[in-house]
Amino acid sequence: MLFKRKEFLQLGSLATASFMVPKFLKSFERVDRVPPGNKVVVILQLSGGNDGLNTVIPIRNDIYYRERPVLGIAKTNALALTDDVGLHPALKSLRELYDDGSLGILNNVGYPNPDRSHFRSMDIWQTGSASTEYITTGWVGRYLDAQCHGCDKPTHALEIDDVLSLALKGENSKAIAMKDPKRLFGTSNEKFFRDVLKDHKSDGEETVDYLYKTMSETLSSANYIFDQSKLHPSVAEYPRTELGNGLKTIASLIFSDINTKVYYISLGSFDTHVNQQMQQQRLFTELSDAVRVFTADLKKNNRFNDVLMFTFSEFGRRVSQNASGGTDHGTANNMFLIGGALKQKGIINPIPDLNDLDEGDLKYKIDFKTVYATVLKNWLDADDTAILGRKYDHLGFC
């Protein structure tokens, strides 16, 4: 069947059709050149609830070793940052970044009345809502709404995945999800789809127009992203893992002139109810190896000062280990901040006080929304109050 043939049309065929489609559908290829010093955010989601206490380890805390006789990571194995704090042994590159002044650690990040369902707590983190509200847009999506008002390509935020996360869905704009610019270009450039799009003339049916608008944005974004990804592709040797491939794609786009400000990528699953040691070791090795190449790549290309990367997980885990060599769902957690232009470095606020727990769980000290507010305001120069729907304090890390 004709439709099946992948016809890689060259750019521009959409543009020639653009005078025939309604104005809002126009897929013009105008590109705002990125000014030097264009700041971007890379969000690394650690899905499944990463065990924060075995990530940033209180290596001189008796309670920690008492509650975790098997899982506790011995002081001698941890990568010591200070006399009291060490990193998980697999996080070698993060230790290097720490020494380099390019790593910040926020401790006890969470929110009031924490929820222990992965799905719900992830929704709360991704929407930036309180645990008592249900919001159907994500915080990056609402940033996109603000940035992409009336724009033709919602590429200000990109997710490296096949499926788009709630975090990147706005009210009017939704970000693009893709694993590989070339594949996105291929699948969205079926000639049939292009012809269907070209053929559409608005008849005032709002939902039909909405679908065509999404289709048009997808096709022109696919072209734009693919085009940009070829401008200055990264030549560094990344580990051949999903995260490695993803960060390589992100690096290539950061080196291009693309207008993307937020990149979103996930690693998981950190849901370590059983056999935590092996699983966390494996995932952290993947993380550490990929981040090492990524940060070196950015430095080599003089972009490390323009990038702020941060990690988060939907919750931390309980202080005590469970009976199956793992840990169960907990509450507050730490976040890593990585970048060449951090204003606060190292261990930014005190590690958890294990004497002051809430029924065996860590108490949160920093609301995660203040981290978002800080990134939006200080790094992306956006209206954080409007995007988050509330005024939050700003932290000092950027």
CA angle 312, 316, 319 (to 5 degrees): 155
As a whole number of angstroms, the distance between CA 78 and CA 54 comes to: 9
193, 185 Cβ separation under 8 angstroms: no
Tell which one of 29, 84, 96, 161 touches another protein (CB under 8 A).
161
* Binding status of residue 165 toward another protein by CB under 8 A: yes
Tell which one of 26, 80, 236, 268 touches another protein (CB under 8 A).
268
Here the tokens at position 83 are 């006399």
As a whole number of angstroms, the distance between CA 12 and CA 313 comes to: 41
Specify the residue, 80 or 135, whose C-beta has the smaller distance to another protein. Answer: 135
Omega of the bond leading into 320 within 30 degrees of 0 (cis): no
Tell which one of 8, 60, 74, 187 touches another protein (CB under 8 A).
187
Alpha-helix residue ranges (DSSP H) falling in 230-262: 242-254
* Binding status of residue 318 toward another protein by CB under 8 A: no
CA angle 198, 202, 207 (to 5 degrees): 105
As a whole number of angstroms, the distance between CA 121 and CA 130 comes to: 10
Specify the residue, 201 or 230, whose C-beta has the smaller distance to another protein. Answer: 201
Tell which one of 274, 278, 390, 393 touches another protein (CB under 8 A).
274
As a whole number of angstroms, the distance between CA 209 and CA 13 comes to: 21
Nearest one of 258, 260, 236, 256 to 248, comparing CA atoms: 236
Query: Please, what is the minimum distance in Å from the beta carbon of residue 27 to another protein?
Result: 13
Tell which one of 39, 174, 303, 377 touches another protein (CB under 8 A).
174
Window contacting another protein (CB under 8 A); options: 83-91, 168-176, 299-307, 332-340: 168-176
As a whole number of angstroms, the distance between CA 363 and CA 356 comes to: 8
From residue 54 to residue 93, what is the string marking binding to another protein with x (rule CB under 8 A)? Answer: ----------------------------------------
As a whole number of angstroms, the distance between CA 65 and CA 63 comes to: 6
Tell which one of 19, 32, 83, 163 touches another protein (CB under 8 A).
163
Query: Please, what is the minimum distance in Å from the beta carbon of residue 43 to another protein?
Result: 15
* Binding status of residue 200 toward another protein by CB under 8 A: yes
Specify the residue, 2 or 35, whose C-beta has the smaller distance to another protein. Answer: 2
Here the tokens at position 246 are 């993803």
**β-bridge pairing 262-267 and 176-177:** unpaired
As a whole number of angstroms, the distance between CA 207 and CA 58 comes to: 55
* Binding status of residue 24 toward another protein by CB under 8 A: no
Give φ, ψ of 362 to 5 degrees: -70, 145
336, 372 Cβ separation under 8 angstroms: no
Tell which one of 9, 74, 196, 231 touches another protein (CB under 8 A).
196
Specify the residue, 58 or 114, whose C-beta has the smaller distance to another protein. Answer: 114
* Binding status of residue 16 toward another protein by CB under 8 A: no
Window contacting another protein (CB under 8 A); options: 58-66, 74-82, 158-166, 382-390: 158-166
Here the tokens at position 76 are 């001698």
* Binding status of residue 208 toward another protein by CB under 8 A: yes
158, 260 Cβ separation under 8 angstroms: yes
* Binding status of residue 118 toward another protein by CB under 8 A: yes
Window contacting another protein (CB under 8 A); options: 209-217, 292-300, 301-309, 367-375: 209-217
Total residues interacting with another protein, rule: CB under 8 A = 59
Cβ neighbours of residue 180 closer than 8 Å, sequence gap 6 or more: 245, 249
Specify the residue, 187 or 385, whose C-beta has the smaller distance to another protein. Answer: 187
* Binding status of residue 96 toward another protein by CB under 8 A: no
> Where do contacts with another protein occur on this chain (CB under 8 A)?
1-4, 47-49, 117-120, 123, 132, 134, 136, 154, 161-165, 169, 174-178, 183, 187-188, 192-193, 195-196, 199-200, 203, 205-208, 210-212, 214-215, 217-218, 221, 266, 268-274, 279, 326
